[in-house]
Amino acid sequence: MKRFMNSPDKYIDEMLEGILKAHPNRLRSVTEDRRAIVRREAPIQNKVGIATGGGSGHLPIFMGYVGRGLLDGAAIGNIFSSPNPSQMLAVTKAIHGGKGVLYLYGNYDGDIWNFDLAAELADAMGIRVESIRVADDVASAPKHDQDKRRGIAGLFFAYKVAGAKAMSEAGLDEVVQTTKKALAGIRSMGVALSSCSLPAVGTPIFTIGDNEMEIGMGIHGEPGIERRELLSADEVTEIVLTKILEDLPYRSGSEVAVLVNGLGATPKEELYIIFNRVFDLLHMRGIRVFRSYVGEFATSLEMAGCSITLMLLDAELKALLAAPASTPFFCQGHDY
Amino acid sequence: MKRFMNSPDKYIDEMLEGILKAHPNRLRSVTEDRRAIVRREAPIQNKVGIATGGGSGHLPIFMGYVGRGLLDGAAIGNIFSSPNPSQMLAVTKAIHGGKGVLYLYGNYDGDIWNFDLAAELADAMGIRVESIRVADDVASAPKHDQDKRRGIAGLFFAYKVAGAKAMSEAGLDEVVQTTKKALAGIRSMGVALSSCSLPAVGTPIFTIGDNEMEIGMGIHGEPGIERRELLSADEVTEIVLTKILEDLPYRSGSEVAVLVNGLGATPKEELYIIFNRVFDLLHMRGIRVFRSYVGEFATSLEMAGCSITLMLLDAELKALLAAPASTPFFCQGHDY
């Protein structure tokens, strides 16, 4: 696989240097290794701090959502690898504004291990930390085992809700409660058309036939639930959306937010072809689309494919979703 | 090439339906075929209208920049094909707010032919139209023949300047003058690592070896100036940036805006690795970076590769570049 890099061992460092040079008024590093990135203005006094973290290779996830109305900081790991506890602790200390810190991240073993340890260390320093793991991928475990599900693009909706809630002067318990309410109604599922490769290896992380797709594929190449011949966009959309809708009582009269997310190499043109079908299928079921997001929100390097995410809304969640936000990778104004 | 579609002949229609359903409060179509897209609130009285247009397959170019602080409308062609004069005329009529309309688009024969005809038809209806063709790709013709150059990602900077200028209550002549001043200092060049394929054909539009890159490749697969073995990200960046810097007097003390644009399949991580080197090379020459844009601004379906664009700035252009703007594909707040 051809890619723009100098050497695999400099990939993350040079990416981070580039991000910090491109956005010096908005982001800064609080460690020498640049693996702990926070908002320029952190800590913000009397605001709950929100930290995330995870492996690299998923931009804008994770650090792309550090900014106004969203997150306060992110710990950055190597490609598809968890950051370590000291990186997360450095973020925590830098963003703590006196009201505690929420760790909001994807449900992966390495991250849980490292961030739980960071939370203990923070606690010992007098910083209260609460943790919420996003587990939105319905393909990754059955409903009765949903605590084992992986976190994928639904992270974006979780960040948006938590970030806006924290702007409202809410305390840590309130931010936790509202974010958990949102997560109870967030479901995602993906489909991959091609693999990505790791910069250090250079060969695809999985193989897939020239006319095949993998339904339910994870963003690190974790196996999906079915491999089959590539179907039409409408058929693929119906398969994925049906799985999502079966998992939750999205009923006629429900209002939802929709995210059609590109995994890396899929053109935006095709994400909108998929969105077009999502919208129609929801409309047929009497489900109203309050807001739509289409683009690259959680990627897997140069993987071709997409995921669909729904979030069930109530009045509070609608207001939080609609609140303005601005980071170097995401911006939403009052006029949406 | 695998892709999400239903059939090639529905590709553009379904994409447009999806875009209009996703952004109903911001965009609307003024023709039955949906190939003439304007801002929801068009026409805006007493503002110069700005129209663009071109072939599909380059999102966010072209219609992605229709919105507040940017463009008023776009005519949409088939993949890599110009829209027709009646589509551009429909845009023109819908966005004319009494102060005339600027056509701002890439320097391609088909577009020139069709948009010149639309301008004549508009003129006959009493709508004054001025046209500016963006020809920023230094690889596509030598400096002494720069009127033959193609328009690529520099379109974004041209849109941003013209759109902000039109917001200032400027007349058509002033908008034209300022946009031309910006274009005199905008230069771009690209490099491709892989081809894209046309939905209707399914095979790559050009072939390139497993360890090759094409320097100066156009966004429709037009041949570049050199094909050679893939070099390191730093070496590629230096080759491209040197060509750009040679073409214009970007001197020590100059201030520039930088755009590192992904062509479709290249991860954002790698665009920042390239930006990192661009920044350092400019710094070494004493050129100051005022603002940086890194991401997908002008794509070529699923092509892997990138382009670098510089825009030379003065005080007026800095203010216009920094002005807030918001479309479904691009948003920039007061806090940047």
Co-location of A175 and A194 in the same domain: no
Predicted confidence (pLDDT) per residue in B66-105, tens digit = 999 999 999 999 999 999 999 999 999 999 999 999 999 9
Residue A40 lies in a domain: yes
pLDDT of residue B317: 98
Predicted confidence (pLDDT) per residue in B151-163, tens digit = 999 999 999 999 9
Interchain contact A203–B (C-beta under 8 A): no
Tally of structural domains, chain A: 2
On whether the CB atoms of residues A139 and A224 are closer than 8 A, the answer is yes
Confidence of residue B278 (pLDDT cuts 50, 70, 90): very high
What is the CB neighbour count within 10 angstroms for residue A315?
Answer: 8
Q: Where are the alpha helices (DSSP H) in chain B?
A: 11-22, 85-95, 109-124, 154-167, 172-184, 233-246, 268-284, 315-322
Co-location of B15 and B157 in the same domain: yes
- Among A164, A184, A204, which residue terminates a domain? A184
B22/A279 touch (CB, cutoff 8 Å), yes or no: yes
B276/A17 touch (CB, cutoff 8 Å), yes or no: yes
Q: Which two tokens stand for residue B187?
A: 């230069």
- Among A119, A150, A184, which residue terminates a domain? A184
Question: B239: distance to nearest CA of chain A, Å?
Answer: 13
Co-location of B232 and B257 in the same domain: yes
Co-location of B16 and B46 in the same domain: yes
pLDDT of residue B336: 60
End-to-end CA distance of chain B: 38
Model confidence at B250: pLDDT above 90: no
pLDDT of residue A251: 84
End-to-end CA distance of chain A: 38
Model confidence at B169: pLDDT above 90: no
Predicted confidence (pLDDT) per residue in A87-136, tens digit = 999 999 999 999 999 999 999 999 999 999 999 999 999 999 999 999 99
Dist. CA A316–CA A22, nearest whole Å: 35
Choose among A217, A221, A224: nearest CA to A197: A221
Residue B291 lies in a domain: yes
CA–centroid distance for B256 within its chain: 18
A–B interface: beta-carbon pairs under 8 A: 194
B58 labelled catalytic? yes
B220 labelled catalytic? yes
Residue B3 lies in a domain: no
CATH code at B253?
3.30.1180.20
Model confidence at B291: pLDDT above 80: yes
Q: Which two tokens stand for residue B74?
A: 């776009």
Co-location of A19 and A167 in the same domain: yes
Residue A5 lies in a domain: no
On whether the CB atoms of residues A48 and A89 are closer than 8 A, the answer is no
Residue B171 lies in a domain: yes
Full residue range of the structural domain in which residue A316 is found: 186-332
What is the three-class DSSP state of A174?
Answer: helix
Residue B2 lies in a domain: no
Dist. CA B335–CA B323, nearest whole Å: 10
Co-location of B36 and B144 in the same domain: yes
Q: What is the dihedral of CA B313, B317, B319, B320, to 10 degrees?
A: -140
Name residues whose C-beta falls within 8 Å of residue A268's C-beta, 6 or more positions apart in sequence: A262, A294, A295, B59, B60, B64, B296, B299, B329
- Among B184, B200, B231, which residue terminates a domain? B184
pTM above 0.95, yes or no: yes
**Looking at beta carbons, which residues of chain B come within 8 Å of A68?**
335
On whether the CB atoms of residues B118 and B89 are closer than 8 A, the answer is yes
Place of tokens 């940017």: B70
Co-location of A31 and A136 in the same domain: yes
Strands, sheet with A226-229, edge to edge from the N-terminal-most edge strand: A226-229, A212-215, A186-192, A305-312, A255-262, A288-295
B193/A3 touch (CB, cutoff 8 Å), yes or no: yes
Question: A322: distance to nearest CA of chain B, Å?
Answer: 13
Co-location of B137 and B192 in the same domain: no
Q: What is the dihedral of CA A74, B273, A309, A211, to 10 degrees?
A: -150
Name the helix (H) or strand (E) containing A271.
helix A268-284
Co-location of B68 and B93 in the same domain: yes
Co-location of B309 and B214 in the same domain: yes
Dist. CA A194–CA A212, nearest whole Å: 9
Co-location of A154 and A254 in the same domain: no
Name the helix (H) or strand (E) containing A276.
helix A268-284
Burial of A58: CB neighbours in 10 Å, binned 0-12, 13-18, 19+: buried
Interchain contact B17–A (C-beta under 8 A): yes
> Across all residues in chain B, what is the average pLDDT?
96
Q: Which residue stretches of chain A have pLDDT < 50? A: none
